[in-house]
Amino acid sequence: MARIVGPMPVIRKTRPSPLTRIIEGRHSSLDVLFERSYSMKMGEFSGVRRKFYFLAQPDIVNRILSSDVDLYPKSNLMGTILYQILGNGIFVSNGETWKKQRRMMNPAFDFARISEVFPLMMESANDMKARLDAVADGREVQIDFEMTHVTADIIFRTIFSEPIPREEAAQIFDAFNHYQELAYIHGVWNMAGLPQALSIPRMRAIRHARGIRGPLARMVRKRFELLATNPENPPQDILSSLIAAEDTDGSKFSEKELVDQIAVMFLAGHETSASALSWALYLISHDQDVQDRMHVETELAFGQEGGFAPRHFKFLKLTRDVFRETLRLYPPVSFVPRDITVPETMRDKKLKKGSAIFISLWLLHRHREIWKNPDTFDPDRFSRSDEKEAIRSAYMPFSQGARVCLGASFALQEAAIILSMISRHYEILPVEGHVPKPVARLTLRSENGIRLRLRKR
């Protein structure tokens, strides 16, 4: 059965020079890859002040992310790029600070259990359907924006107990697109050893960061004002859980720390999901067999007595596998940087303290020696025995170990609801001549957007 090979970056035949990597890599981390990258286990790049290594060997990756996690903290490159939005939130923090944050945030994710958030997800999905009904007549739809809107709406309702206005969703979508381009260029500037104080992209990125962090800070301030007047009846949501959270010593999050953690949850809870959902819908639009099977599956799930409920997720196996396969092909966070805190020998290379490793999920998920037809969209691979070892050892879209994404289950259930709602009600059609151009910066997005056509069934 023929399967689609999704959009790929231009893959050069030969290894680029260090200068070429810096110049061309400022656009996207995919631009520094070449043909052999997809079969290499480890590569290196010499910066001005330190070395950088690209790693795609499953056993070493699992060791770094799991058993030796304290020896390989989140790289300061990540903090430098994301501080303007996330502060010292749990996504970029390390050591005891991270451990304390993790302890205090666990109760908030108790609220995010699917049984609690399912009604909120369905409300957002139904509102999405109403918006899509208005344009599902065969015209072009900017589906990456629509996915950003619905996922932002879900996480907004879960955190703040209210929907996000479309204007604010558009503002955040635009601000983050600009921010991540500028922040990524600043990261390359930093890797090149250039003075941060002279980084014009950093200064411009800060302005766009305010367009994302500002609305979240206002919502947190609004909640404190509400609690001041009505402390006995707080909304039952993630923000209330975080405000009430205490560490073992009785300490609580300050208002700034709350904004840091909310910013992490908001961006991680919608940007990564929106990216993957957009790619999934593009792939589905080019695979009629998968689309037809998903439609049959969703009709069964939604046609149950009493209407669709959490217990009916069991009927959405193909839908879930479509999302899992999309996460393999287009992992939203494609490169995970870690700092090296102790000298060690890895493969045949001597790694010095102070160097950095980029765990490349993009390469690991497409490695020629690990996967069968690695570039092909094939959701059925998750049901085949000959792919089990690759999935077990080399599939990690939510990372691994102690720092595995807290919201993984949330994201998988959210995706199943959104994809099933769309595949049940619409034919998903490609736009002739439109091919998305993947770029990997802070997240993996399409540089020229993802446009589709929808038609009501």
Q: What's the pLDDT tens digit per position in 297-323?
A: 999 999 887 788 888 999 999 999 999
The predicted pLDDT at position 195 comes to: 62
pTM for this model (two decimals): 0.90
Q: Would you say 405 is a known binding-site residue?
A: yes
**Residue predicted with more confidence, 409 or 288:** 288
Mean pLDDT to the nearest integer, 144-152: 93
Say if residue 19's pLDDT is above 60: no
Show the 3-state SS of the chain: CCCCECCCCCCECCCCCHHHHHHHHCCCHHHHCEHHHHCCCEEEEECCCCEEEEECCHHHHHHHHHHCHHHCCECHHHHHHHHHHHCCCCCCCCHHHHHHHHHHHHHHHHHCCHHHHHHHHHHHHHHHHHHHHCCCEEEEEEHHHHHHHHHHHHHHHHHHCCCCCHHHHHHHHHHHHHHHHHHHHHHHHHHCCCCHHHCHHHHHHHHHHHHHHHHHHHHHHHHHHHHHHCCCCCCCCHHHHHHHCCCCCCCCCCHHHHHHHHHHHHHHHHHHHHHHHHHHHHHHHCCHHHHHHHHHHHHHHHCCCCCCCHHHHHHCHHHHHHHHHHHHHCCCCCEEEEECCCCEEECCEEECCCCEEEEEHHHHCCCCCCCCCCCECCHHHHHCHHHHHHHHHHCCCCCCHHHCCCCHHHHHHHHHHHHHHHHHHEEEEECCCCCCCEEECCCEEECCCCEEEEEEC
Point out the least confidently predicted range of 19-23, 266-270, 371-375, 383-387.
Answer: 19-23
Question: Mean pLDDT across the chain, nearest whole number?
Answer: 86
Complete domains list, the chain, with CATH: 76-333+376-456 (1.10.630.10)
Say if residue 27's pLDDT is above 90: no
